[in-house]
Amino acid sequence: MSPLATFQQISRLLMDSWISSPDGLASPEDIYLPLSDRLRPNMVLIAVDVRPVNPLDFRIDFIQGYHLRTGLADVSSLQQSRSFSEFPDTRFLHDTMIPAYVVAVQRQRPMMRRVVTRVLDTIISYDRIVLPQRITTGRSSWCIALLDIHFLLPTASTDQSLDHVDLGILQLLTEGEPTRGIGSELNLSHRTIEHRIDHLKSSFRARNIPHLVALWIAAGLGGSAEPDN
């Protein structure tokens, strides 16, 4: 069994295979199959049939899905082979999925970028490379995409009632400061900090401090996730 590789390593190997592939290669398997046993469990490898004129009729097939354990999303339902029109999140479909493959086919070259977006009730961050079928004349029939997923976060709303002390506590928690250290930094008693943290956990419906930090970060990312143009 080959050793697992990083996203950068696999992307480079995919690019090398893509560059050396013959014009109009019929099957994408010839490019990705030699590398499929080197993928990490947080990586997703997909093949997309882009022959239809209407992108809603594109078809996505999962060669390898994300299989780290998570309770944030019904990952298995999201990773079913289907036409684009059947994907359960239409916003993600139109803002992120369709542009990625339409642009790759139009430009006829690999496209790489980092994405932070929302899928259903989960914020997701990943690096992605899309490689269209190399073809001199006509239009590509397929694309390959590799996603390297960095994290999944629960969606959360920013609590507009947070004051400067709450924001300071959240920032210091994110930096790994213990409650006593936070009290020292903010010139407040240890008990005051604990009380504030309990109130923040209640406001964000967080189960514990790590969950609180994750929800706070997610609230910020949720407002800044951009369409994939």
User: Do 165 and 134 touch, CB atoms closer than 8 A?
Assistant: no
E-strand ranges in the chain read 43-49, 59-64, 82-83, 111-119, 122-132, 142-154
> Is 159 within a domain?
no
| Among the listed residues 26, 48, 20, the one whose alpha carbon sits nearest the alpha carbon of residue 146 | 48
Q: Is the pLDDT of residue 143 over 90?
A: yes
What's the pLDDT band for 229 if we cut at 50, 70, 90? Answer: very low
Q: What is residue 77's predicted lDDT score, i.e. its pLDDT?
A: 83
What percent of the chain has a predicted confidence (pLDDT) above 90?
74
Let me know whether 19 and 114 are in one domain.
yes
Calpha distance 17→30 (Å, rounded) = 8
CATH number, domain containing residue 68: 3.30.450.20
Domain boundary among 154, 178, 193: 154
pLDDT in tens, 26-72: 999 999 998 889 999 999 999 999 999 999 999 999 999 999 988 87
> Is 228 within a domain?
no
> Is 74 within a domain?
yes
Let me know whether 146 and 178 are in one domain.
no
What percent of the chain has a predicted confidence (pLDDT) above 70?
94
> Is 126 within a domain?
yes
CATH number, domain containing residue 168: 1.10.10.10
7: its two tokens: 């996203």
> Is 169 within a domain?
yes
Give the DSSP H/E element, type plus range, for residue 204.
helix 190-204
Let me know whether 189 and 89 are in one domain.
no
> Is 212 within a domain?
yes
Domain boundary among 114, 129, 154: 154
122 φ/ψ angles, rounded to the nearest 5 degrees: -130, 135
Q: Which domain holds residue 174?
A: 164-222
Let me know whether 170 and 143 are in one domain.
no
Please give the model's pTM, rounded to 2 decimal places. Answer: 0.86
Let me know whether 57 and 27 are in one domain.
yes
What's the pLDDT band for 222 if we cut at 50, 70, 90? Answer: low
Let me know whether 191 and 145 are in one domain.
no
Domain tally, the chain: 2
Let me know whether 26 and 103 are in one domain.
yes
